[in-house]
Amino acid sequence: MAAVEPVVESFTGIVEEALFRPVRNGNAFEDTVSRLLQTIRLGIVAPGEALPPERDLAVRFSVSRDTVRDAIRELAEAGYLVSRRGRYGGTFVTDTLPTEPRPGELLDPAELEDVLGLREILELGAARAAAARTLSAADRETLWSRMHETAAAEEPDYRRLDSRLHLTIGELVGVPSLVSLLADNRTRLNGLLDRIPLLAPNIAHSNQQHEAIVIAILTGDPERAAEAMREHLEGSAALLRGFLA
């Protein structure tokens, strides 16, 4: 009896299935940006080729079309995508992608994961510990003010004030060595953040998450504070991995 050849799914089909799967609900915009970047940087959608239509991407990612549209707009501004109108229009990967770093400037993936892993340990612990403390009226006012200052920041000042808010949460724990560790980690993190675009939808989303974190701390809910911080960190981690990994 003749041998039956096994049916093997193509590599591209497997990768497409993996990349065009539903994103997490908490960070829909950031994960959509990251997933689209992966499809571009891995060559699943090659330079000059079209992405699936917005409506199809929305279904595949299980997000709204507005989220897909926002992600496409930000990646177009960053130079990865271009929209074309007309009968054969759509969203296309640019023929020439943004310049990749020179060999001496390449990011070591292990460095990225080290920064993000340490950040998660430090900042989740800080949020949980701050929420467990009895805060003075001055501490509470400072934290609330830092949150509002960050939300009102103009783009050039955003990362500085964002850093200050996160360090303030660490200060509320009352362990000076923790603040030193947070500051060192944040310095490394900002060096990575400076290598990717500052995306307006991500800023708006981050500000909403900041409010959730701060309210959980002020109402004395350690687990809610830690979970809100985890969701917040996952958003920025998704963007960093998307652009730099």
Residue 86's pLDDT is 80
Fold of 104-244: Four Helix Bundle (Hemerythrin (Met), subunit A) (1.20.120)
Q: What is the DSSP letter of 85?
A: -
| The pLDDT value given to residue 71 | 96
Q: What is the pTM of this model?
A: 0.82
Are 221 and 130 in contact by the 8 Å Cβ rule? The answer is no
90: helix, strand or coil? strand
Domain with CATH 1.20.120.530 in the chain: 104-244
Q: So what's the pLDDT on residue 105?
A: 57
Instruction: Please report which helix (H) or strand (E) contains residue 83, including its range.
Output: strand 81-84
Q: Who's near 32: CB < 8 A, 6+ residues apart?
A: 23, 57, 61, 63, 67, 68, 71
Helix ranges, 99-221 (H) = 109-132, 137-151, 155-173, 176-193, 200-218
Give me the pLDDT at residue 108, please: 84
Query: Would you write out the chain's pLDDT as a tens digit for each of its 245 residues?
Result: 444 333 333 334 545 665 677 887 789 999 999 999 988 887 778 899 999 999 999 999 999 999 999 999 999 999 999 998 887 789 999 998 886 655 555 678 899 999 999 999 999 999 999 999 999 999 999 999 999 999 999 988 999 999 999 999 999 999 989 999 999 999 999 989 988 999 999 999 999 999 999 999 999 999 999 999 999 999 999 999 999 87
Domain 11-93: assigned CATH number: 1.10.10.10
In angstroms, the CA 150 to CA 214 distance is 12
Q: Kindly report, as residue ranges, where domains of CATH 1.10.10.10 are found in the chain.
A: 11-93
Sign of the CA dihedral 117, 121, 122, 127?
positive
Cross-strand bridge partners of residue 50: 92
Residue 57 to residue 20: CA distance in whole angstroms? 7
